[in-house]
Amino acid sequence: MKKILITGGAGFIGSHVVRWFVNAYSDYQIINLDKLTYAGNLANLAEIENRNNYSFVKGDITDSTFINKLFLDEKPDAVIHLAAESHVDRSISNPSEFVMTNVVGTVNLLNAAKEYWRDDYSNKRFYHVSTDEVYGTLGEKGMFTEKTAYDPHSPYSASKASSDHFVRAYADTYGLNTVISNCSNNYGSHHFPEKLIPLAINNIKNNKPVPVYGKGENIRDWLWVEDHARAIDVIFHNAKSGETYNIGGHNEWKNIDLIRLLCKIMDQKLGRESGTSEKLIAFVTDRAGHDLRYAIDSTKLQRELGWTPSLQFEEGLEKTVDWYLSNEEWLSNVTSGNYQRYYEEQYSLR
Ligand code: NAD
Ligand code: DAU
Protein backbone atom coordinates (compact mmCIF):
# COMPACT_ATOMS: atom_id res chain seq x y z
CA MET A 1 0.00 0.00 0.00
CA LYS A 2 1.49 3.29 -1.05
CA LYS A 3 -0.96 6.12 -0.51
CA ILE A 4 -2.68 6.42 2.85
CA LEU A 5 -5.38 8.96 3.61
CA ILE A 6 -5.29 9.73 7.33
CA THR A 7 -8.30 11.71 8.56
CA GLY A 8 -8.09 13.91 11.67
CA GLY A 9 -4.30 14.01 11.41
CA ALA A 10 -4.06 17.49 12.96
CA GLY A 11 -5.68 16.36 16.22
CA PHE A 12 -4.09 14.80 19.28
CA ILE A 13 -3.83 11.10 18.33
CA GLY A 14 -3.99 11.77 14.58
CA SER A 15 -0.86 13.95 14.69
CA HIS A 16 1.04 11.16 16.47
CA VAL A 17 -0.19 8.64 13.90
CA VAL A 18 0.75 10.89 10.96
CA ARG A 19 4.20 11.55 12.46
CA TRP A 20 4.69 7.85 13.09
CA PHE A 21 3.81 6.79 9.52
CA VAL A 22 5.74 9.64 7.85
CA ASN A 23 8.87 8.76 9.84
CA ALA A 24 8.54 4.97 9.56
CA TYR A 25 7.54 4.62 5.88
CA SER A 26 9.41 6.93 3.52
CA ASP A 27 7.98 4.95 0.56
CA TYR A 28 4.36 5.72 1.55
CA GLN A 29 2.54 8.92 0.65
CA ILE A 30 0.67 10.17 3.69
CA ILE A 31 -2.23 12.55 3.04
CA ASN A 32 -3.60 14.26 6.12
CA LEU A 33 -7.24 15.33 5.70
CA ASP A 34 -8.50 17.58 8.48
CA LYS A 35 -11.13 20.27 8.86
CA LEU A 36 -9.01 22.08 11.47
CA THR A 37 -11.77 22.46 14.03
CA TYR A 38 -10.84 23.92 17.44
CA ALA A 39 -9.14 20.54 18.11
CA GLY A 40 -7.06 20.46 14.92
CA ASN A 41 -3.75 22.25 14.92
CA LEU A 42 -1.13 22.10 12.18
CA ALA A 43 1.51 23.19 14.69
CA ASN A 44 1.26 19.61 15.97
CA LEU A 45 2.94 18.52 12.74
CA ALA A 46 5.61 21.20 12.34
CA GLU A 47 8.34 18.57 12.61
CA ILE A 48 7.26 16.69 9.46
CA GLU A 49 5.34 19.30 7.43
CA ASN A 50 8.07 19.62 4.79
CA ARG A 51 8.67 15.93 4.24
CA ASN A 52 8.33 14.66 0.66
CA ASN A 53 6.02 11.84 1.71
CA TYR A 54 3.54 14.14 3.51
CA SER A 55 0.78 16.45 2.33
CA PHE A 56 -2.13 18.22 3.99
CA VAL A 57 -5.65 18.77 2.66
CA LYS A 58 -8.12 20.95 4.52
CA GLY A 59 -11.64 19.56 4.26
CA ASP A 60 -14.75 18.35 6.00
CA ILE A 61 -15.71 14.67 6.04
CA THR A 62 -19.39 15.63 6.30
CA ASP A 63 -19.12 17.06 2.75
CA SER A 64 -19.67 14.00 0.52
CA THR A 65 -18.96 15.91 -2.74
CA PHE A 66 -15.59 16.96 -1.41
CA ILE A 67 -14.78 13.45 -0.16
CA ASN A 68 -15.70 11.83 -3.49
CA LYS A 69 -13.54 14.30 -5.40
CA LEU A 70 -10.64 13.71 -3.03
CA PHE A 71 -10.82 9.95 -3.69
CA LEU A 72 -11.00 10.60 -7.44
CA ASP A 73 -8.02 13.01 -7.42
CA GLU A 74 -5.77 11.27 -4.91
CA LYS A 75 -6.69 7.60 -5.39
CA PRO A 76 -5.69 6.51 -1.89
CA ASP A 77 -4.96 2.81 -1.31
CA ALA A 78 -6.04 2.95 2.31
CA VAL A 79 -7.81 5.11 4.86
CA ILE A 80 -6.93 5.42 8.53
CA HIS A 81 -9.93 7.27 9.92
CA LEU A 82 -9.49 9.29 13.11
CA ALA A 83 -11.41 12.50 12.36
CA ALA A 84 -14.11 12.92 14.96
CA GLU A 85 -15.66 15.11 17.56
CA SER A 86 -14.00 13.48 20.57
CA HIS A 87 -14.93 15.24 23.81
CA VAL A 88 -17.71 13.68 25.92
CA ASP A 89 -18.63 16.97 27.67
CA ARG A 90 -19.10 18.74 24.32
CA SER A 91 -21.28 15.86 23.13
CA ILE A 92 -23.56 16.44 26.12
CA SER A 93 -24.08 20.09 25.17
CA ASN A 94 -24.16 19.59 21.38
CA PRO A 95 -25.01 16.00 20.35
CA SER A 96 -25.98 16.78 16.72
CA GLU A 97 -22.48 17.83 15.75
CA PHE A 98 -21.27 14.42 16.92
CA VAL A 99 -23.84 12.65 14.75
CA MET A 100 -22.78 14.71 11.73
CA THR A 101 -19.03 14.21 12.01
CA ASN A 102 -18.80 10.81 13.66
CA VAL A 103 -21.67 9.04 11.90
CA VAL A 104 -22.41 10.90 8.65
CA GLY A 105 -18.72 11.72 8.10
CA THR A 106 -17.75 8.06 8.52
CA VAL A 107 -20.50 6.91 6.14
CA ASN A 108 -19.32 9.45 3.54
CA LEU A 109 -15.81 7.97 3.71
CA LEU A 110 -17.18 4.42 3.54
CA ASN A 111 -19.27 5.32 0.48
CA ALA A 112 -16.28 6.82 -1.29
CA ALA A 113 -14.13 3.76 -0.47
CA LYS A 114 -16.89 1.40 -1.63
CA GLU A 115 -17.23 3.27 -4.90
CA TYR A 116 -13.61 3.99 -5.82
CA TRP A 117 -12.14 0.68 -4.71
CA ARG A 118 -14.91 -1.50 -6.14
CA ASP A 119 -12.70 -3.23 -8.78
CA ASP A 120 -10.85 -5.09 -6.04
CA TYR A 121 -11.33 -4.52 -2.34
CA SER A 122 -8.74 -7.10 -1.30
CA ASN A 123 -5.67 -4.90 -1.58
CA LYS A 124 -7.33 -1.81 -0.11
CA ARG A 125 -7.99 -1.14 3.57
CA PHE A 126 -10.41 0.99 5.61
CA TYR A 127 -9.08 1.29 9.18
CA HIS A 128 -11.55 2.83 11.63
CA VAL A 129 -10.11 4.18 14.90
CA SER A 130 -12.64 3.82 17.69
CA THR A 131 -12.94 3.91 21.44
CA ASP A 132 -13.53 1.61 24.41
CA GLU A 133 -16.44 3.89 25.39
CA VAL A 134 -18.69 1.98 22.95
CA TYR A 135 -18.76 -0.87 25.50
CA GLY A 136 -20.32 1.32 28.18
CA THR A 137 -19.20 1.05 31.76
CA LEU A 138 -17.75 -1.64 34.03
CA GLY A 139 -18.43 -2.32 37.70
CA GLU A 140 -15.54 -3.04 40.04
CA LYS A 141 -14.48 -6.19 38.22
CA GLY A 142 -14.00 -7.38 34.64
CA MET A 143 -12.55 -5.92 31.44
CA PHE A 144 -13.81 -5.08 27.97
CA THR A 145 -12.95 -7.73 25.38
CA GLU A 146 -13.67 -7.64 21.66
CA LYS A 147 -16.80 -9.71 22.43
CA THR A 148 -18.30 -7.31 24.99
CA ALA A 149 -21.73 -6.11 23.84
CA TYR A 150 -21.99 -2.44 22.87
CA ASP A 151 -23.72 -0.29 25.50
CA PRO A 152 -22.83 3.38 24.92
CA HIS A 153 -24.11 6.03 27.33
CA SER A 154 -22.98 9.44 26.10
CA PRO A 155 -23.90 11.05 22.77
CA TYR A 156 -20.17 10.79 21.92
CA SER A 157 -19.96 7.05 22.57
CA ALA A 158 -23.34 6.45 20.88
CA SER A 159 -22.04 8.21 17.76
CA LYS A 160 -18.80 6.18 17.80
CA ALA A 161 -20.75 2.94 18.34
CA SER A 162 -22.94 3.83 15.38
CA SER A 163 -19.91 4.48 13.18
CA ASP A 164 -18.41 1.11 14.21
CA HIS A 165 -21.65 -0.61 13.19
CA PHE A 166 -21.57 1.11 9.79
CA VAL A 167 -17.98 -0.01 9.20
CA ARG A 168 -18.90 -3.65 9.99
CA ALA A 169 -22.04 -3.37 7.83
CA TYR A 170 -19.94 -2.24 4.84
CA ALA A 171 -17.59 -5.21 5.36
CA ASP A 172 -20.48 -7.68 5.62
CA THR A 173 -22.67 -6.21 2.88
CA TYR A 174 -20.18 -5.03 0.27
CA GLY A 175 -17.03 -6.96 1.14
CA LEU A 176 -15.03 -3.82 1.98
CA ASN A 177 -11.68 -4.62 3.64
CA THR A 178 -12.08 -3.10 7.10
CA VAL A 179 -10.41 -3.16 10.52
CA ILE A 180 -11.56 -1.50 13.75
CA SER A 181 -9.60 -0.85 16.92
CA ASN A 182 -11.14 0.27 20.21
CA CYS A 183 -8.68 2.05 22.45
CA SER A 184 -8.68 3.28 26.03
CA ASN A 185 -7.80 6.83 27.21
CA ASN A 186 -4.65 8.21 25.59
CA TYR A 187 -2.26 10.70 27.14
CA GLY A 188 0.92 12.45 26.00
CA SER A 189 2.01 15.57 24.12
CA HIS A 190 -0.27 17.74 21.93
CA HIS A 191 -3.39 16.75 23.91
CA PHE A 192 -6.01 19.51 23.80
CA PRO A 193 -6.45 21.01 27.30
CA GLU A 194 -10.16 20.31 27.56
CA LYS A 195 -9.37 16.69 28.51
CA LEU A 196 -8.51 15.76 32.08
CA ILE A 197 -4.70 15.48 32.07
CA PRO A 198 -3.74 18.51 29.94
CA LEU A 199 -6.48 20.63 31.54
CA ALA A 200 -5.15 19.78 35.01
CA ILE A 201 -1.54 20.50 33.97
CA ASN A 202 -2.56 23.87 32.56
CA ASN A 203 -4.62 24.81 35.63
CA ILE A 204 -1.97 23.72 38.14
CA LYS A 205 0.63 25.69 36.22
CA ASN A 206 -1.60 28.79 36.39
CA ASN A 207 -2.67 28.24 40.02
CA LYS A 208 -6.29 27.72 38.97
CA PRO A 209 -8.71 25.21 40.55
CA VAL A 210 -8.44 21.66 39.17
CA PRO A 211 -12.04 20.47 38.58
CA VAL A 212 -12.59 16.84 39.59
CA TYR A 213 -16.04 15.52 38.65
CA GLY A 214 -18.11 13.95 41.45
CA LYS A 215 -15.90 12.28 44.03
CA GLY A 216 -13.11 11.53 41.57
CA GLU A 217 -13.81 7.81 41.87
CA ASN A 218 -14.24 7.09 38.17
CA ILE A 219 -11.54 4.89 36.68
CA ARG A 220 -9.85 5.15 33.31
CA ASP A 221 -7.20 2.93 31.68
CA TRP A 222 -4.45 5.25 30.40
CA LEU A 223 -2.24 4.53 27.39
CA TRP A 224 0.80 6.46 26.12
CA VAL A 225 -0.31 7.96 22.79
CA GLU A 226 2.77 6.73 20.89
CA ASP A 227 1.91 3.19 21.99
CA HIS A 228 -1.49 3.72 20.35
CA ALA A 229 0.17 4.94 17.13
CA ARG A 230 2.43 1.84 17.14
CA ALA A 231 -0.59 -0.42 17.71
CA ILE A 232 -2.36 1.18 14.74
CA ASP A 233 0.71 0.49 12.58
CA VAL A 234 0.82 -3.18 13.65
CA ILE A 235 -2.93 -3.69 13.15
CA PHE A 236 -3.01 -1.77 9.86
CA HIS A 237 -0.31 -3.99 8.37
CA ASN A 238 -1.18 -7.36 9.89
CA ALA A 239 -4.85 -7.69 10.79
CA LYS A 240 -7.19 -9.79 8.65
CA SER A 241 -10.11 -7.97 7.07
CA GLY A 242 -13.14 -7.71 9.34
CA GLU A 243 -11.10 -7.96 12.54
CA THR A 244 -11.45 -5.87 15.69
CA TYR A 245 -8.69 -5.29 18.25
CA ASN A 246 -8.89 -3.72 21.70
CA ILE A 247 -5.93 -1.51 22.65
CA GLY A 248 -5.26 -0.56 26.27
CA GLY A 249 -2.59 0.21 28.79
CA HIS A 250 -3.39 -2.29 31.58
CA ASN A 251 -3.09 0.87 33.61
CA GLU A 252 -6.18 1.74 35.62
CA TRP A 253 -6.27 4.92 37.69
CA LYS A 254 -8.97 6.50 39.80
CA ASN A 255 -9.25 10.13 38.64
CA ILE A 256 -8.46 11.50 42.09
CA ASP A 257 -5.34 9.33 42.46
CA LEU A 258 -4.16 10.38 39.02
CA ILE A 259 -4.67 14.06 39.86
CA ARG A 260 -2.79 13.68 43.16
CA LEU A 261 0.14 12.05 41.33
CA LEU A 262 0.06 14.86 38.78
CA CYS A 263 0.07 17.46 41.57
CA LYS A 264 3.14 15.78 43.08
CA ILE A 265 5.00 15.81 39.75
CA MET A 266 4.01 19.45 39.14
CA ASP A 267 5.24 20.51 42.61
CA GLN A 268 8.62 18.96 41.82
CA LYS A 269 8.85 20.43 38.31
CA LEU A 270 7.73 23.92 39.36
CA GLY A 271 9.87 23.94 42.49
CA ARG A 272 6.82 24.29 44.73
CA GLU A 273 6.67 23.04 48.28
CA SER A 274 5.26 19.49 48.44
CA GLY A 275 1.44 19.56 48.80
CA THR A 276 1.00 23.02 47.23
CA SER A 277 -0.72 21.93 44.00
CA GLU A 278 -3.08 19.48 45.77
CA LYS A 279 -4.74 22.46 47.42
CA LEU A 280 -6.04 23.41 43.96
CA ILE A 281 -8.22 20.28 43.70
CA ALA A 282 -11.91 21.28 43.52
CA PHE A 283 -14.66 18.67 43.53
CA VAL A 284 -17.38 19.84 41.12
CA THR A 285 -20.76 18.59 39.85
CA ASP A 286 -20.45 15.22 38.17
CA ARG A 287 -20.68 14.66 34.41
CA ALA A 288 -24.18 13.49 33.37
CA GLY A 289 -24.23 9.75 32.62
CA HIS A 290 -20.62 9.48 33.80
CA ASP A 291 -19.25 5.97 33.08
CA LEU A 292 -17.71 4.56 36.25
CA ARG A 293 -14.89 2.41 34.98
CA TYR A 294 -13.13 1.46 31.74
CA ALA A 295 -10.56 -1.33 31.50
CA ILE A 296 -9.36 -2.93 28.30
CA ASP A 297 -8.33 -6.53 27.82
CA SER A 298 -5.82 -6.33 24.96
CA THR A 299 -4.81 -10.03 25.11
CA LYS A 300 -5.90 -10.60 21.50
CA LEU A 301 -3.64 -7.86 20.16
CA GLN A 302 -0.74 -8.98 22.33
CA ARG A 303 -1.12 -12.67 21.45
CA GLU A 304 -1.93 -12.40 17.72
CA LEU A 305 0.14 -9.39 16.68
CA GLY A 306 2.79 -9.17 19.40
CA TRP A 307 2.02 -5.57 20.53
CA THR A 308 2.57 -4.52 24.15
CA PRO A 309 2.46 -1.09 25.83
CA SER A 310 5.97 0.30 26.28
CA LEU A 311 5.86 2.93 29.00
CA GLN A 312 5.14 2.96 32.73
CA PHE A 313 2.50 5.55 33.59
CA GLU A 314 4.62 7.50 36.10
CA GLU A 315 7.36 7.90 33.48
CA GLY A 316 4.86 8.82 30.76
CA LEU A 317 3.12 11.37 32.96
CA GLU A 318 6.41 13.02 33.82
CA LYS A 319 7.35 13.18 30.12
CA THR A 320 3.92 14.69 29.41
CA VAL A 321 4.34 17.37 32.09
CA ASP A 322 7.83 18.16 30.72
CA TRP A 323 6.37 18.59 27.23
CA TYR A 324 3.68 21.03 28.40
CA LEU A 325 6.10 23.04 30.51
CA SER A 326 8.54 23.41 27.64
CA ASN A 327 5.87 24.18 25.02
CA GLU A 328 4.29 27.24 26.56
CA GLU A 329 3.66 28.86 23.19
CA TRP A 330 1.64 25.85 21.96
CA LEU A 331 -0.38 25.90 25.18
CA SER A 332 -1.04 29.64 25.18
CA ASN A 333 -2.04 29.56 21.48
CA VAL A 334 -4.67 26.88 22.03
CA THR A 335 -5.98 28.33 25.29
CA SER A 336 -6.69 31.82 23.97
CA GLY A 337 -9.92 32.97 22.27
CA ASN A 338 -12.58 30.28 21.94
CA TYR A 339 -11.05 28.15 24.66
CA GLN A 340 -11.76 30.80 27.28
CA ARG A 341 -15.39 30.93 26.20
CA TYR A 342 -15.70 27.14 26.27
CA TYR A 343 -14.14 27.00 29.73
CA GLU A 344 -16.50 29.62 31.14
CA GLU A 345 -19.56 27.82 29.77
CA GLN A 346 -18.44 24.34 30.77
CA TYR A 347 -17.27 25.03 34.30
CA SER A 348 -19.16 28.09 35.56
CA LEU A 349 -22.26 26.06 36.47
CA ARG A 350 -20.48 23.05 38.00
P1 NAD B 1 -9.13 15.28 18.64
O2 NAD B 1 -10.42 15.92 19.01
O3 NAD B 1 -7.88 15.71 19.31
O4 NAD B 1 -8.89 15.43 17.08
C5 NAD B 1 -9.91 15.25 16.13
C6 NAD B 1 -9.43 15.77 14.80
O7 NAD B 1 -10.47 15.56 13.84
C8 NAD B 1 -9.11 17.27 14.79
O9 NAD B 1 -7.89 17.52 14.13
C10 NAD B 1 -10.28 17.88 14.03
O11 NAD B 1 -9.94 19.09 13.34
C12 NAD B 1 -10.63 16.76 13.07
N13 NAD B 1 -12.04 16.85 12.63
C14 NAD B 1 -13.13 17.02 13.43
N15 NAD B 1 -14.23 17.09 12.66
C16 NAD B 1 -13.84 16.94 11.37
C17 NAD B 1 -14.52 16.91 10.13
N18 NAD B 1 -15.86 17.07 10.06
N19 NAD B 1 -13.81 16.71 8.99
C20 NAD B 1 -12.45 16.55 9.05
N21 NAD B 1 -11.75 16.61 10.20
C22 NAD B 1 -12.43 16.78 11.36
O23 NAD B 1 -9.38 13.71 18.82
P24 NAD B 1 -8.39 12.58 19.38
O25 NAD B 1 -8.48 12.55 20.85
O26 NAD B 1 -7.08 12.72 18.70
O27 NAD B 1 -9.15 11.29 18.83
C28 NAD B 1 -8.90 10.83 17.49
C29 NAD B 1 -9.75 9.59 17.24
O30 NAD B 1 -9.41 8.57 18.19
C31 NAD B 1 -11.25 9.83 17.40
O32 NAD B 1 -11.91 9.08 16.41
C33 NAD B 1 -11.57 9.30 18.80
O34 NAD B 1 -12.88 8.82 18.86
C35 NAD B 1 -10.56 8.14 18.89
N36 NAD B 1 -10.12 7.82 20.28
C37 NAD B 1 -9.63 8.79 21.10
C38 NAD B 1 -9.13 8.43 22.36
C39 NAD B 1 -8.55 9.45 23.31
O40 NAD B 1 -8.19 9.09 24.43
N41 NAD B 1 -8.40 10.70 22.92
C42 NAD B 1 -9.16 7.09 22.77
C43 NAD B 1 -9.69 6.13 21.89
C44 NAD B 1 -10.14 6.50 20.63
O1 DAU C 1 -11.80 5.94 26.75
C2 DAU C 1 -11.46 6.58 25.55
C3 DAU C 1 -12.00 7.99 25.54
O4 DAU C 1 -11.21 8.74 26.46
C5 DAU C 1 -11.98 8.63 24.16
O6 DAU C 1 -12.82 7.93 23.30
C7 DAU C 1 -12.41 10.10 24.24
O8 DAU C 1 -12.29 10.71 22.97
C9 DAU C 1 -11.50 10.82 25.23
O10 DAU C 1 -11.89 12.15 25.36
C11 DAU C 1 -11.53 10.10 26.58
O12 DAU C 1 -12.84 10.24 27.21
P13 DAU C 1 -13.01 10.54 28.78
O14 DAU C 1 -14.33 11.13 28.98
O15 DAU C 1 -12.62 9.35 29.59
O16 DAU C 1 -11.81 11.64 28.95
P17 DAU C 1 -11.77 13.03 29.75
O18 DAU C 1 -10.34 13.47 29.73
O19 DAU C 1 -12.81 13.98 29.30
O20 DAU C 1 -12.14 12.58 31.23
C21 DAU C 1 -11.36 11.61 31.92
C22 DAU C 1 -12.01 11.40 33.27
O23 DAU C 1 -11.82 12.59 34.06
C24 DAU C 1 -13.50 11.17 33.23
O25 DAU C 1 -13.86 10.28 34.26
C26 DAU C 1 -14.10 12.56 33.51
C27 DAU C 1 -13.08 13.18 34.44
N28 DAU C 1 -12.90 14.65 34.34
C29 DAU C 1 -12.74 15.21 33.12
C30 DAU C 1 -12.55 16.57 32.99
C31 DAU C 1 -12.40 17.21 31.62
C32 DAU C 1 -12.84 15.41 35.50
O33 DAU C 1 -12.96 14.88 36.63
N34 DAU C 1 -12.65 16.77 35.37
C35 DAU C 1 -12.52 17.39 34.16
O36 DAU C 1 -12.38 18.63 34.12
* Burial class for 188, CB neighbours closer than 10 Å (0-12, 13-18, 19+): buried
In this structure, the strands spanning 252-254 and 219-224 are: antiparallel
On whether both 10 and 117 belong to a single domain, the answer is: yes
In 162-242, beta strands by DSSP E: 178-183, 185-187, 210-213, 219-224
On whether both 283 and 317 belong to a single domain, the answer is: yes
On whether both 148 and 27 belong to a single domain, the answer is: yes
On whether both 154 and 204 belong to a single domain, the answer is: no
Question: How many alpha carbons fall within 13 Å on the CB side of residue 12?
Answer: 25
Q: Is the CB of 213 under 6 A from ligand 2?
A: yes
**Residue-number span of the structural domain to which 96 is assigned:** 2-187+222-247
Coil vs helix vs strand at 250 = coil
Angle subtended at Cα 172 by Cα 168 and Cα 177, rounded to the nearest 5 degrees: 75
Q: Which of 5, 6, 12, 166 to mutate to test the pocket of ligand 1 (most atoms within 8 A of CB)?
A: 12
How many residues belong to the chain? 350
On whether both 132 and 212 belong to a single domain, the answer is: no
- Identify whether 127 is part of a domain: yes
- Identify whether 305 is part of a domain: no
Burial 56-74 (b: 16+ CB within 10 A, else e): beebbbbebebbeebbeeb
On whether both 101 and 147 belong to a single domain, the answer is: yes
In this structure, the strands spanning 185-187 and 252-254 are: unpaired
132, 146, 194, 297: which is the annotated catalytic residue?
Answer: 132
CA distance 178 to 117: 12
On whether both 205 and 318 belong to a single domain, the answer is: yes
- Identify whether 301 is part of a domain: no
34, 133, 221, 291: which is the annotated catalytic residue?
Answer: 133
- Identify whether 299 is part of a domain: no
On whether both 226 and 280 belong to a single domain, the answer is: no
CATH number at residue 333: 3.90.25.10
- Identify whether 302 is part of a domain: no
Domain count across the chain: 2
The pLDDT of residue 349 is 77
Q: Residue 133 catalytic?
A: yes
pLDDT, tens digit, 9 for 90 and up, residues 163-179? 999 999 999 999 999 99
On whether both 8 and 27 belong to a single domain, the answer is: yes
Report CA(184)–ligand 1 centroid distance (Å). 14
Residue nearest to ligand 2 atom 6, measured at CA: 131
On whether both 31 and 178 belong to a single domain, the answer is: yes
Q: Is the CB of 13 under 6 A from ligand 1?
A: yes
CATH number at residue 140: 3.40.50.720
CA distance 319 to 227: 14
What is the edge-to-edge ordering of all strands in the sheet holding 219-224? 185-187, 219-224, 252-254
On whether both 163 and 203 belong to a single domain, the answer is: no
The pLDDT of residue 337 is 84
- Closest ligand to residue 15's CA: 1
Report CA(85)–ligand 1 centroid distance (Å). 6
Task: Mark the ranges of the chain whose per-residue pLDDT is less than 70.
Answer: 1
In this structure, the strands spanning 54-58 and 185-187 are: unpaired
Any residues with CB less than 8 A from the CB of 83 and at least 6 apart, and which? 7, 8, 11, 14, 33, 34, 35, 61, 101, 105
Q: Residue 273 catalytic?
A: no
- Residue 35: closest CA among 1, 70, 61: 61
On whether both 265 and 240 belong to a single domain, the answer is: no
The pLDDT of residue 1 is 62
- Identify whether 320 is part of a domain: yes
- Identify whether 123 is part of a domain: yes
- Identify whether 210 is part of a domain: yes
